[in-house]
Structure 1
Amino acid sequence: MRLLTSLPVLFFVLIGTVSAQFGFFEQMFNGGQQQHNQAPQNVPSDSTRYRNSYDQSHCDKYLCPDTLACVHYPHHCPCAWPSHEDKFELAEGQRICVSKGGFKAGEAARKVELARKGLL
Protein backbone atom coordinates (compact mmCIF):
# COMPACT_ATOMS: atom_id res chain seq x y z
CA MET A 1 0.00 0.00 0.00
CA ARG A 2 2.84 2.28 0.82
CA LEU A 3 4.30 1.58 -2.64
CA LEU A 4 1.10 2.83 -4.29
CA THR A 5 1.24 6.19 -2.50
CA SER A 6 4.92 6.74 -3.24
CA LEU A 7 4.52 5.83 -6.94
CA PRO A 8 2.77 9.10 -7.91
CA VAL A 9 5.40 11.08 -6.00
CA LEU A 10 8.16 9.24 -7.87
CA PHE A 11 6.34 9.83 -11.16
CA PHE A 12 6.15 13.62 -10.59
CA VAL A 13 9.80 13.75 -9.54
CA LEU A 14 10.86 11.99 -12.76
CA ILE A 15 8.69 14.25 -14.92
CA GLY A 16 10.12 17.33 -13.22
CA THR A 17 13.67 16.11 -13.84
CA VAL A 18 13.01 15.36 -17.52
CA SER A 19 11.24 18.68 -17.95
CA ALA A 20 14.13 20.53 -16.35
CA GLN A 21 16.61 18.80 -18.66
CA PHE A 22 14.65 19.61 -21.80
CA GLY A 23 13.97 23.12 -20.53
CA PHE A 24 17.72 23.58 -20.16
CA PHE A 25 18.38 22.40 -23.72
CA GLU A 26 15.54 24.48 -25.10
CA GLN A 27 16.86 27.56 -23.37
CA MET A 28 20.41 26.82 -24.50
CA PHE A 29 19.60 26.29 -28.18
CA ASN A 30 16.46 28.34 -28.63
CA GLY A 31 17.66 31.16 -26.38
CA GLY A 32 20.72 31.71 -28.56
CA GLN A 33 18.50 31.94 -31.61
CA GLN A 34 16.34 34.61 -30.01
CA GLN A 35 19.38 36.85 -29.72
CA HIS A 36 19.94 36.65 -33.48
CA ASN A 37 16.35 37.63 -34.17
CA GLN A 38 16.57 40.85 -32.19
CA ALA A 39 16.98 44.03 -34.19
CA PRO A 40 20.31 45.81 -33.68
CA GLN A 41 20.24 48.82 -31.38
CA ASN A 42 20.78 52.32 -32.74
CA VAL A 43 23.87 54.10 -31.49
CA PRO A 44 23.23 56.83 -28.93
CA SER A 45 22.48 60.32 -30.23
CA ASP A 46 25.33 61.93 -28.33
CA SER A 47 29.05 62.13 -28.99
CA THR A 48 30.20 59.97 -26.09
CA ARG A 49 31.45 57.08 -28.25
CA TYR A 50 33.40 59.45 -30.49
CA ARG A 51 34.91 61.37 -27.57
CA ASN A 52 35.97 58.11 -25.93
CA SER A 53 37.67 56.98 -29.16
CA TYR A 54 39.31 60.38 -29.54
CA ASP A 55 40.52 60.41 -25.93
CA GLN A 56 41.96 56.88 -26.26
CA SER A 57 43.79 57.65 -29.52
CA HIS A 58 47.52 58.28 -29.12
CA CYS A 59 49.27 60.52 -31.61
CA ASP A 60 52.50 62.46 -31.10
CA LYS A 61 51.92 64.54 -34.24
CA TYR A 62 48.48 65.66 -35.47
CA LEU A 63 45.34 63.63 -34.79
CA CYS A 64 42.77 64.13 -37.54
CA PRO A 65 39.49 64.99 -35.82
CA ASP A 66 37.23 63.28 -38.35
CA THR A 67 39.15 60.06 -39.09
CA LEU A 68 41.37 59.80 -35.98
CA ALA A 69 44.37 59.22 -38.27
CA CYS A 70 47.77 60.28 -36.95
CA VAL A 71 49.59 62.41 -39.55
CA HIS A 72 52.41 64.97 -39.64
CA TYR A 73 50.27 67.90 -40.81
CA PRO A 74 46.53 68.63 -40.84
CA HIS A 75 46.34 68.73 -44.63
CA HIS A 76 47.66 65.14 -44.70
CA CYS A 77 44.46 63.85 -43.06
CA PRO A 78 42.75 61.27 -45.23
CA CYS A 79 39.11 61.45 -46.25
CA ALA A 80 36.81 59.19 -44.27
CA TRP A 81 35.47 57.51 -47.44
CA PRO A 82 38.31 57.61 -50.00
CA SER A 83 36.48 55.43 -52.50
CA HIS A 84 33.64 57.99 -52.57
CA GLU A 85 35.49 61.25 -51.92
CA ASP A 86 38.30 63.24 -53.50
CA LYS A 87 40.67 65.14 -51.21
CA PHE A 88 41.76 68.68 -52.00
CA GLU A 89 44.35 70.64 -50.08
CA LEU A 90 43.54 74.29 -49.52
CA ALA A 91 45.63 77.20 -48.34
CA GLU A 92 47.05 77.34 -44.83
CA GLY A 93 47.24 73.57 -44.34
CA GLN A 94 43.55 72.85 -44.70
CA ARG A 95 41.90 70.16 -46.76
CA ILE A 96 38.39 69.27 -47.84
CA CYS A 97 36.79 66.06 -49.02
CA VAL A 98 34.35 66.35 -51.90
CA SER A 99 31.94 63.64 -52.95
CA LYS A 100 32.72 61.88 -56.23
CA GLY A 101 29.10 60.84 -56.66
CA GLY A 102 27.34 61.96 -59.84
CA PHE A 103 30.35 63.71 -61.34
CA LYS A 104 32.45 62.81 -64.36
CA ALA A 105 36.10 62.02 -63.72
CA GLY A 106 37.85 65.26 -62.72
CA GLU A 107 34.57 67.15 -62.35
CA ALA A 108 34.95 67.58 -58.58
CA ALA A 109 38.40 69.10 -59.07
CA ARG A 110 37.03 71.50 -61.70
CA LYS A 111 34.26 72.65 -59.36
CA VAL A 112 36.69 73.14 -56.46
CA GLU A 113 38.92 75.24 -58.72
CA LEU A 114 35.93 77.34 -59.84
CA ALA A 115 34.97 77.86 -56.19
CA ARG A 116 38.54 78.94 -55.34
CA LYS A 117 38.31 81.58 -58.06
CA GLY A 118 34.90 82.68 -56.82
CA LEU A 119 33.17 81.64 -60.03
CA LEU A 120 30.89 79.06 -58.49
Structure 2
Amino acid sequence: MASGSSTGPGAVRTAEGTIVLNGDRSESERISLHIVNTGDRPVQIGSHLHLPDANTALEFDRAAAHGFRLDIPSGTSRRFEPGASRDIAAVAFQGARRIPGIQIKSNGGVL
Protein backbone atom coordinates (compact mmCIF):
# COMPACT_ATOMS: atom_id res chain seq x y z
CA MET A 1 0.00 0.00 0.00
CA ALA A 2 1.42 3.40 -0.89
CA SER A 3 2.06 5.90 1.85
CA GLY A 4 -0.04 9.00 2.13
CA SER A 5 -3.30 10.12 3.61
CA SER A 6 -6.81 11.00 2.59
CA THR A 7 -9.72 12.69 4.26
CA GLY A 8 -13.41 12.04 4.73
CA PRO A 9 -15.49 8.97 5.49
CA GLY A 10 -13.71 5.69 4.85
CA ALA A 11 -10.33 7.42 4.59
CA VAL A 12 -7.23 5.25 4.75
CA ARG A 13 -4.32 6.83 6.56
CA THR A 14 -0.93 5.13 6.60
CA ALA A 15 2.47 6.02 7.93
CA GLU A 16 5.20 7.18 5.59
CA GLY A 17 7.03 4.38 3.81
CA THR A 18 6.03 1.03 2.41
CA ILE A 19 3.82 -1.51 4.13
CA VAL A 20 4.60 -5.15 3.35
CA LEU A 21 1.59 -7.41 3.75
CA ASN A 22 2.33 -10.62 5.63
CA GLY A 23 6.03 -9.81 5.56
CA ASP A 24 6.67 -12.27 8.37
CA ARG A 25 5.64 -15.27 6.24
CA SER A 26 8.22 -17.72 4.88
CA GLU A 27 8.20 -19.07 1.33
CA SER A 28 6.70 -22.33 2.63
CA GLU A 29 3.72 -20.29 3.88
CA ARG A 30 3.01 -18.85 0.43
CA ILE A 31 1.49 -20.35 -2.71
CA SER A 32 0.24 -19.18 -6.09
CA LEU A 33 -3.01 -20.50 -7.50
CA HIS A 34 -4.78 -20.18 -10.82
CA ILE A 35 -8.51 -19.60 -10.25
CA VAL A 36 -11.21 -19.76 -12.96
CA ASN A 37 -14.86 -18.77 -12.46
CA THR A 38 -16.77 -21.49 -14.32
CA GLY A 39 -20.13 -20.14 -13.16
CA ASP A 40 -22.57 -17.70 -14.75
CA ARG A 41 -22.40 -15.10 -11.94
CA PRO A 42 -19.61 -13.01 -10.40
CA VAL A 43 -17.97 -14.49 -7.29
CA GLN A 44 -15.97 -12.64 -4.65
CA ILE A 45 -13.47 -14.11 -2.21
CA GLY A 46 -12.89 -12.16 1.00
CA SER A 47 -9.50 -11.58 2.56
CA HIS A 48 -9.89 -14.15 5.33
CA LEU A 49 -11.97 -16.87 3.68
CA HIS A 50 -10.39 -20.32 3.83
CA LEU A 51 -9.87 -20.83 0.11
CA PRO A 52 -11.20 -24.41 -0.15
CA ASP A 53 -14.52 -23.07 1.22
CA ALA A 54 -14.91 -20.63 -1.69
CA ASN A 55 -17.86 -20.91 -4.08
CA THR A 56 -17.75 -24.21 -5.97
CA ALA A 57 -18.05 -22.35 -9.29
CA LEU A 58 -14.43 -21.32 -8.76
CA GLU A 59 -12.10 -23.95 -10.18
CA PHE A 60 -8.65 -24.30 -8.57
CA ASP A 61 -6.53 -26.82 -6.64
CA ARG A 62 -8.51 -26.89 -3.38
CA ALA A 63 -6.25 -29.53 -1.81
CA ALA A 64 -3.19 -27.31 -2.32
CA ALA A 65 -5.14 -24.34 -0.92
CA HIS A 66 -6.03 -26.07 2.37
CA GLY A 67 -5.01 -23.78 5.24
CA PHE A 68 -4.54 -20.74 2.97
CA ARG A 69 -6.29 -17.42 2.37
CA LEU A 70 -5.75 -14.63 -0.17
CA ASP A 71 -2.65 -12.48 0.35
CA ILE A 72 -4.56 -9.19 0.21
CA PRO A 73 -5.27 -6.41 2.75
CA SER A 74 -7.68 -7.30 5.54
CA GLY A 75 -11.29 -6.42 4.74
CA THR A 76 -10.83 -6.47 0.97
CA SER A 77 -11.80 -9.07 -1.61
CA ARG A 78 -11.13 -10.23 -5.16
CA ARG A 79 -13.94 -10.50 -7.69
CA PHE A 80 -14.08 -13.10 -10.45
CA GLU A 81 -16.48 -12.36 -13.28
CA PRO A 82 -18.07 -15.32 -15.13
CA GLY A 83 -15.42 -17.01 -17.28
CA ALA A 84 -12.62 -14.88 -15.78
CA SER A 85 -9.38 -16.41 -14.59
CA ARG A 86 -6.61 -14.99 -12.45
CA ASP A 87 -3.40 -16.06 -10.79
CA ILE A 88 -3.53 -15.17 -7.10
CA ALA A 89 -1.09 -15.19 -4.20
CA ALA A 90 -2.16 -16.89 -0.98
CA VAL A 91 -0.69 -17.13 2.52
CA ALA A 92 -1.15 -19.72 5.23
CA PHE A 93 -3.35 -18.94 8.21
CA GLN A 94 -1.37 -18.51 11.42
CA GLY A 95 -2.09 -19.69 14.92
CA ALA A 96 -3.42 -23.18 15.57
CA ARG A 97 -4.59 -23.36 11.93
CA ARG A 98 -7.78 -25.17 12.91
CA ILE A 99 -10.23 -24.15 10.22
CA PRO A 100 -13.63 -25.77 10.72
CA GLY A 101 -14.96 -24.75 7.32
CA ILE A 102 -18.32 -23.47 6.19
CA GLN A 103 -19.33 -26.15 3.71
CA ILE A 104 -20.81 -29.34 5.10
CA LYS A 105 -20.77 -32.75 3.40
CA SER A 106 -24.01 -34.69 3.08
CA ASN A 107 -22.81 -36.99 5.89
CA GLY A 108 -22.40 -33.98 8.22
CA GLY A 109 -18.60 -33.76 7.98
CA VAL A 110 -16.65 -30.71 6.88
CA LEU A 111 -15.28 -30.67 3.32
TM score, norm. by length of structure 2: 0.21
Query: Going by fraction, where is strand more abundant, 1 or 2?
Result: 2
Q: State the structure with more CA Rg.
A: 1
For CA contacts below 8 A with separation 6 or more, give which structure has more relative contact order: 2
